Amino acid sequence: MSGLHIAIIMDGNGRWATSQGKKRVDGHRAGSEVVRTITTYASKNSEIDELTLYAFSTENWKRPKLEVNFLMELLSKYLDSELETYLKNGVRFRPIGDVSKFTKRLQKSIKNLEEKTAHLTDLTQNLALNYGGKDEIVRSVKSLISSGDEVTEESIEKRLDLPRPVDILIRTGGDKRISNFLLWQLSYAELFFLDKLWPDFKSEDLQKVVDEFKGRERRFGGLK
């Protein structure tokens, strides 16, 4: 049996910064450090083999222009500087979402990191960039229609950005919603909503969720 596929909605960067009298961008910067910490931990945890992180949604373009610009610059710096971390920890980087909306420079950084880590196998990190669950399904259906193939769950699923189902969804920050994230893949995921803000999220918090997950009974609509 393969390891767990864990998805995380990394919420609370702005509120974390505000609570400390800092700018919202400082919260995003702190949150990016946690991405590195959690990815490294997951790469060394034999129970986890796939980690999907909600970095920038299709709705995030609605945020103030200055904040969006900062997020784009932060993402670019992260992608350009993290190659050593990925290589050292055996992490394969894979983007999901419609990255065609990003600048050519940012698209190049995304592709470069994806290509240079394609051979790594300790962990796959899927970074959701300009991603929305509805948009993913629409793009999958359009691809299916243009192919002329029969419309089935299987034919739609194989055209998704991320065909693999999610085992565990974690959302930090206290809100209890999935915010258009992995709508198809979350069909039978176990959901964990944590009050802790993303910059305060630790490796031990992730492990506690994994340990609780192992105690849950998953029936996938059937009976046991």
State yes or no: is 60 an active-site residue. Answer: yes
State yes or no: is 11 an active-site residue. Answer: yes
Active-site residue among 11, 49, 135, 167? 11
CA distance 52 to 6: 6
Residue 142: its H or E element: helix 133-147
218 and 43 Cβ atoms separated by less than 8 Å: no
CA distance 48 to 69: 33
Active-site residue among 26, 60, 80, 112? 60
Q: Which of 201, 144, 184 is nearest to 192 (CA)?
A: 201
Give the SS3 label for residue 107. Answer: helix
Burial of 196 from C-beta contacts in 10 A (0-12 / 13-18 / 19+): middle
CA distance 7 to 185: 10
Maximal C-alpha separation, the chain: 56
Q: How far apart are the first and last CA of the chain?
A: 20
Catalytic residues: 11, 60
